[in-house]
Structures are given as structure tokens and as C-alpha cells.
Amino acid sequence: MSEDLVGNALIGQSGGPTAVINASVAGVIAEALNNNEIEEIYGTLNGVLGILQEDFVDLASESQQTIRGLKHTPGAALGTCRYKLKKQADFERVLEVFKAHNIRYFFYAGGNDSQDTADKISKLAQEQGYALRVIGIPKTIDNDLAITDHCPGYGSVIKYISTTVREIACDNEAMGQHDLVQIVEVMGRNAGWIAAGASLAKRKDHPHDAPHIILLPEVAFSQEKFIADVQRVLKREKSCMIVVGEGLIDADGNYVSAAEATDAFGHAQLGGAADFLQGLIEQNLPGIKARTVKLGMAQRAAVHAGSKTDVDEAYLAGQAAVKAAINGETDKMITLLRGDHDHYTVETGLAPLSDIANGVKKLPREWINEDGISMNHQFVRYAQPLIQGETVVPYDNGLPVFAKLEKVRVDKQLAAYEL
């Protein structure tokens, strides 16, 4: 145990929500309530934007029923953002706000860019001699954070996508028509983890199950090979189901489809890969019916098809963040470490924020079959444990019930800040 640091805790959420990011918040709150070093537990609304605007809520005043309900509530209960701290004045403002509210513990749930932000805030506090412990909590459906075995949010998204693929396959089979191509576009940015997860829809020893073709950013796209692969599937099947990651690239490293617009961190706005493939099929295979399914935000909000394992690990990551900070750790992100056993186990670890920030963990090439469009047993062994168990969601009058924070505001201490 390190020297006690007494003060208030602040937790924020950043980037795209997941089905389990709120479970991490619940874990932080539950653990923080058990430690005398933490006097007040605040939440910042909409990530770093809430810090700049001094827009805090009192999380300790929330009912235990609401906190428990966060474990089965999608979205980001505290609100999120993709705002980038652009100038030194932004960072100075963050520290000014922390000092005004005696924030000594900062927990930030987010992906690559969010961990970079947390790292920079921590470094500035150290430069100015302000005692602050900063711990990142991993969050991303993309599963592309370095060092951690996997990320909270990933298990639920691939459980939902694999479920959806099986459901669509039943629909396609029911149509009873030949030459039907169904293209399902999924998220994932520059890594193919989500698209690869659709392979779990295949039953063991049923190689002809959907999806028949999986297109990944890790494998350069060839139009000629793609058309040949579709034709080969349609020779033996009534329909062909394709799952494509939004970040699909060609041999020159260019996205096959991306908007000119970028987000606050300079990332291309992806989407449209399914439409691109549909156009190729219609141009090169006359008479073939090609349809697209774009799951969009539904895939990261589908708590009704969530993984219990994922929820439990997200909660565990939140708890571990508090324990690490109380023990004197800072500048670290919680990682999930897979046990070296025949049966699946997981424990938490720590990695420097600077090692996480802005990195991208790609899907290992050796987990992709030589055909470039299917996954092998190594990936299945990795991913299968992450989708086990079902999220228990309460229902009322036939519809799910989600938790909603009261969001009791914390009084502001400073003058307004111009963004």
C-alpha cells in the first residue's frame, strides 16, 4: 500500500459506447465506495468536454439499484465525446478544474485516443507537482487496444453479430432462391476483429454455414478474387453471405470506401463498404441479387444479445482501476490477462498509458486461413470464451428496462471556459 492520497474521484467515458461500458462505471463506483481515501465520487458529463465546462454530477448520490442497473444498460450513462484537447490552455484548464474540486483520482474509460488524453493529463499534473492518480479503463468494440488480451465490449458485439448472421442465414434459406448474395457490414475501423467474430456463427463441423466470405482490413482486397470467391460459393449454395469490415483496404492501402470527412482525431469516417461490394457484384455478375445489411450503431448497443462474460469483465476492470489507484499506481491502463489453462480464466494487469495511446492491435495473420476469407481454429479458441453467458436484462410491459442516472449536479467553482 502506498502513502494515502485523500481526495475526490472523477470518472469519464469517451469515444463510441459499447454494451458494457456502463458496467465499468458501476465497478468504479462500487469499489470507490469501499475506500476511505476517496471522499466524493463524481462523473464528468461527456468526457473531457465535461471537465473543460466543469459539468460534474454526484455519483455517490445515485441509488444502488441504479448503479446495479448500469450493468445491463447500453450507451454511455455519463455521456461521451470525441473532443480532442487541442491546445495547452485546454490541459491547463483540466488541471485547474481538478484543483478546484480536489480531484485526486481520475478514471477514464475509452479507446486508443482516450488513453492518450489521460496520459497527457497525468503528465501535466506531474510537471506541476499536483498529486493525481490516473488510470485508464479499456473500452472498444474494435478490440484493437495494444497489450490487453481483449477489450470490454468486444465479446458482446461479436455475440450479437454472430447471432444476427445466424438469423439472416435462416431468412436466406427460407427464400428458397438461388443466386442471392447478402452483404453484412460491420464496424472495426482498421482492424478485422469484429468481422472475424462473425465466424463464430458457423457450427462445428458445418463448413458450409454462413458467413461464407469474411473480408478483413488485414487482407488486401482484390476485386477479381472477390468475384471468383462469390461465384465459387454460389455454385454449391443457394445463397452467399458476406461479412465485411468497414475498414477494408485495397492493395495500395486505400479504403475501398470512406468519406472525405474526418473526426476530431483525424480518423476517416468509414462506411459504405457493403454498398461498394454490392456494386461490384451487380456490375460483374448479371442476374445475381445482392442485398446489404448495415448494422451500424445497433451492433454496439445490443445489450439484449450481450455476453455475461463481457459484462463481468467490464465491471472487474472498473474495480481494478480503483484498486490500482489506491495502491499508488498512475499513468496505467487496466489490461485483461488470459490464464494459461485449458479452461478460460482472466485476471487484470496494468500497462503504461503511453504504450496504449494511439496504437492499433491487428488481427494476427496466422489466425486467418490461407484463402484470406475465413478464420481458423486459433481465432475460434480465442473468441469463443468471450461470448459465453447471457446478459440478464429486466423487462417491463414487454420491453427492456434501462438505468438512468439522476445526475445531481456538482456546484461549479470557476468561471466559464471558452472552447
Report, as residue numbers or ranges, the catalytic residues. Answer: 142
Show the cell assigned to 372.
484470406
148 is an annotated ligand-binding site residue: no
DSSP state, residue 386: G
Of 76, 2, 64, 74, the closest CA to residue 29 belongs to: 64
112 labeled binding residue: yes
C-alpha cell read off for 139:
473500452
Write the DSSP symbol of residue 375. Answer: B
3-class DSSP state for residue 393?
coil
- Which amino acid is located at 354 in the chain? S
For residues 77 and 24, the answer to whether their CB atoms sit within 8 Å is no
C-alpha angle 187/188/193, rounded to 5°? 120
Nearest-10 crossing angle of helices 308-326, 21-32: 40
* Residue 241 annotated as part of some ligand binding site: no
Question: What gap in Å lies between CA 103 and CA 310, rounded to an integer?
Answer: 29
Q: What is the largest CA-CA distance in the chain?
A: 73
- Report in angstroms the alpha-carbon separations of 145 from 112, 148, 352, 384, 385: 6, 7, 12, 19, 19
Confirm or deny that 246 is annotated as ligand binding: yes
Other beta carbons less than 10 A from residue 379's beta carbon: 21
> What is the dihedral sign for C-alpha 67, 73, 78, 80?
positive
Please, which residues bridge with residue 409 across strands? Answer: 57
Instruction: Report the 10 Å Cβ neighbour count for 330.
Output: 20
Is 141 a known ligand-binding residue? yes
* CA-wise closest residue to 28 among 13, 48, 11: 11
Q: Is 411 left (phi over 0), alpha (psi -120 to 50) or beta?
A: beta
Q: Known binding site for diphosphate: residues?
A: 16
Q: Known binding site: residues?
A: 16, 112, 140-142, 187-189, 246
Q: Known binding site for Mg(2+): residues?
A: 112
Q: Known binding site for substrate: residues?
A: 140-142, 187-189, 246
